[in-house]
Amino acid sequence: MRRNLLTLTILILILFLSVLSKNLDPYIYQILVFFGINSILAVSLNLINGFTGQFSIGHAGFMAAGGYFSAALSVYQGEKLLNILSFLPKDLAQGAIFLVFLILGGLFSAILGLIIGIPTLRLKGDYLAIATLGFGEIIRVAILNLDVVGGPRGFPGIPKLTDITWVTFWAFIAVVVIYRIINSSHGRAIISIREDETASESMGINTTYYKVLAFSIGAFFAGIAGGLFAHYLMMLHPSSFTFMRSVEILLMIVLGGLGSITGSIFGAFILTVLPEALRGFAHLRLIIYSLTLIIMMLVRPSGLIGNREISFYRIFKFLRRKGIN
């Protein structure tokens, strides 16, 4: 029941946004695009950090990997494929190619996640954190040394294919997929790892399998987000994918609540809008970020929402109760 409600709400939201976006102020439009991309990043990181309880701080690396991969496909193969598909209407062909490239970018990230995850997920807690950080940095350094994608100069000339419909579509897919995983028997296994890894292992749960699974799915969506990001900005630069970026994503889920999908989206919203609101005080922005992180941990370590979900049903019930009393 609740799942259907969630699906429905988001579908309506997509339609609503697509129609609305035609007349949107370009500034608001851009903020919404970034909000969508950040939501994908936050929800996917939350699968790893919040639900599986594995502390990863290298998400920017996966975003970079997927982004660069799909961007490179677009730049080097896009025209060719478009010619092959010339029998289709141009928009449709373009869309199909973009979809495939995004997914390939996501898969590239996921494979990377697999390669990285299998050895490192044996590590626990802060060791894992450091290993993921290390991998994030290695991916960035690798890009810096790859001349095909511009190395330190950046990678220009990416076609602008991302629009708000694409972003909302993918945000929707990310939420639905991760929501369904968590509420399946796999999800219960995943959450049991967070609660007590040793105990779930002794219950016969293949913890490594589930950890790697969660890690790869998280990496997949980070890669998708990277692809969307690349095809919106039309230009990539390694400096967009530093450790700082990973921390920003982490901040979103910490703010919203580790282990809450709606919380992640809420956190993504705040961290997309807040910088805009603080644009006049650019240098204060980062200070506010850092103070927020510290104060959140001291005062409300479970995040603003905690590990619950916001649901309309519950809000409705709450309002009605208030009304009666």
Shortest gap between Cβ of 299 and another protein (angstroms)?
10
Applying CB under 8 A, the span of 121-129, 157-165, 180-188, 218-226 interacting with another protein comes to 121-129
**301 binds another protein per the rule CB under 8 A:** yes
**144 binds another protein per the rule CB under 8 A:** yes
**114 binds another protein per the rule CB under 8 A:** no
**289 binds another protein per the rule CB under 8 A:** yes
Nearer to another protein, 83 or 198 (CB): 198
The rounded distance, in Å, linking the Cα atoms of 15 and 21 is 10
**180 binds another protein per the rule CB under 8 A:** no
Nearer to another protein, 133 or 219 (CB): 133
The binding track of 65-104 with respect to another protein, each residue x by CB under 8 A or -, is ----------------------------------------
Shortest gap between Cβ of 241 and another protein (angstroms)?
14
Tokens at residue 167, please? 């972003």
Token pair 């104060």 is found at 295
Shortest gap between Cβ of 285 and another protein (angstroms)?
8
Nearer to another protein, 15 or 287 (CB): 287
**125 binds another protein per the rule CB under 8 A:** yes
The binding track of 3-32 with respect to another protein, each residue x by CB under 8 A or -, is ------------------------------
Q: Which residues bind another protein (CB under 8 A)?
A: 55, 57, 119-120, 123-127, 129-131, 133-135, 137-138, 141-142, 144-145, 151-152, 198, 243, 247, 250, 254, 283-284, 286-287, 289-294, 296-298, 301
